[in-house]
Amino acid sequence: MTPKTFWIDRPVFVTGATGLIGCALVRQLLDLGADVVCLVRDWVPQSEFVRVGMIDRVNLVRGDLRDQDLLVRAVAEYEIQTVIHLAAQSIVGVANREPANTLDVNIRGTWTLLEACRRSPLVKEVVLASTDKVYGDVEQLPYTEDMPYLAKYPHDVSKACAELIGRTYVDTYQLNVAVTRLPNIYGGGDLNWNRIIPGAIRSALRGQPPMILSDGKFIRDFLYVEDAAAAHLALTEALASQPEIKGEAFNITSETRWTILELVEEILKLMGSDLAPEVKSQNKQEIRSQYLSGEKARRVLGWAPSHSMAEGLQATIEWYQNYLEKLEE
């Protein structure tokens, strides 16, 4: 079965559809002809999901990820075959300030969804989105999938727990689950201005120096959102044809690494700006260096990103230019 025929009329349940990856994923699924069902908690009119009319092309389930009865009903009534779980409290700073909600959403939300999948005989594949932060702070880089969990901060621990819960449903109930471990995702549509890329672009467009809350020397791995969405499709297709990868995790990465200061300077260069970033040196509770090996995803999934960093950043800058211009009209 080819990828195009695989997705045609396939009932797919997506959590986190209004988020950055969710919007890109839903768009790609609709283009492939899938029958998309989205769980949406909050009404977010600024989201691409709403703004470009994707919301009118999917079946919408309104409610909370932790509502067991709601998820059981949705998975059963829409006869879901594929589940892609993106919903999470994903902001590290929020997690450090409000750990209880982050732990509850990311951990309880995962087992609630997996339990709904377990109860349905029709669910064939479940893909859980995780993070490179589950690896913790280690000297040996890049991260590879055989490294242990060394997470210690609230967000990072919550995602490590979610992965372990996924493995429980594989080993105990033979649910067909696999995991993506993602780096920092960027792209048009991210309206969390506290994130470095949208924040830096907006500041530059307003003629203000972009602020870097860390010392600028933190090293990170960045991946364009369209590539991140495509990776979830590739893993789903692999789960359907390669049962031996059930229970495994895959690093999804462009295998590029930047310091935060280098990244902001590249954004300013692409924008033709002569502004200089303002380095605050405030953030302390973050891992200093994080980047992934993508060898396993290339070998097993046949996946690699389609966009260079320059291409992804240029497309992202253009998106924010258009978005902010329309806001000012």
Q: What's the pLDDT tens digit per position in 116-154?
A: 999 999 999 999 999 999 999 998 999 999 999 999 999
The total of structural domains in the chain comes to 1
Q: Is residue 162 part of a domain?
A: yes
Q: Exposed (0-12), middle (13-18) or buried (19+): which is 109, by Cβ within 10 Å?
A: buried
**CA–CA separation, 30 and 50 (whole Å):** 14
**Segments forming the whole domain that contains residue 174:** 3-188+222-255+289-306
Q: Is residue 240 part of a domain?
A: yes
The CATH code of the domain that includes 9 is 3.40.50.720
Q: Is residue 297 part of a domain?
A: yes
* Packing angle, helices 109-119 and 68-77, rounded to 10: 40
Q: Is residue 328 part of a domain?
A: no
Q: Is residue 316 part of a domain?
A: no
Q: Is residue 264 part of a domain?
A: no
Q: Is residue 134 part of a domain?
A: yes
pTM for the whole structure: 0.95
User: pLDDT tens digit string along 39-79?
Assistant: 999 888 888 899 999 999 999 999 999 999 999 999 999 99
Q: Is residue 83 part of a domain?
A: yes
Q: Which amino acid is at 173?
A: Y
